[in-house]
Structure 1
């Protein structure tokens, strides 16, 4: 196998930050919506506050997720949404997975 053939394997197009199960699940949850609130996301992913905060913050640092804070009435709220870079990277990751699976 030539070097060029080795470099073309679709696994090389996987997005490394999405390899963590919670980050993968968070990206999948956000891909289908404009935004999700913290409590709904936590419940959907079945993770603790600290796990969700840590994983979302890592994706935010990479420019994949936007974390917005505000109030509903007098209660503080946090929302998550994908950035354009996040949506593009998610599509790249899914395409690589589909290519690897042969679909």
Structure 2
């Protein structure tokens, strides 16, 4: 059981980060407004959690303007996808007690 715990990644400890990665695992990208709405997060809360995931290179952030409106898109990196899969697998093993 101790070895299972080693695969639980602290970067995904918060529910907002779990939500961000869950959305990005099944979508090519997600926009800031979409994540904010889906996760029920405030602007500042979402921004701090996306920055934390970007810092460990689990997501990539792309900012642009559409007309005069700012648009921010988030993409899961290959590293982020791999680490999130390991995290979920570890949680499943822990739940199943294997």
* Bin of the TM-score, shorter chain as denominator length: over 0.9
Structure 1 residue ranges, 4+ long, deviating more than 2 angstroms after superposition:
none
C-alpha separation between the residues in 2 aligned to 1:71 and 1:90?
30
C-alpha separation between the residues in 1 aligned to 2:2 and 2:26?
31
Structure number with greater Rg is: 1
C-alpha separation between the residues in 2 aligned to 1:7 and 1:48?
36
Equivalent residue number for residue 81 of structure 1: 75
C-alpha separation between the residues in 2 aligned to 1:86 and 1:39?
21
C-alpha separation between the residues in 2 aligned to 1:78 and 1:7?
39
C-alpha separation between the residues in 1 aligned to 2:2 and 2:27?
34
1:3-22 superposed matches below 5 A:
7-8=2-3, 10-22=4-16
- TM-score, normalization by structure 1: 0.88
CA RMSD of superposed structures (Å): 1.4
Count of residues in Structure 1 that have an aligned counterpart in Structure 2: 97
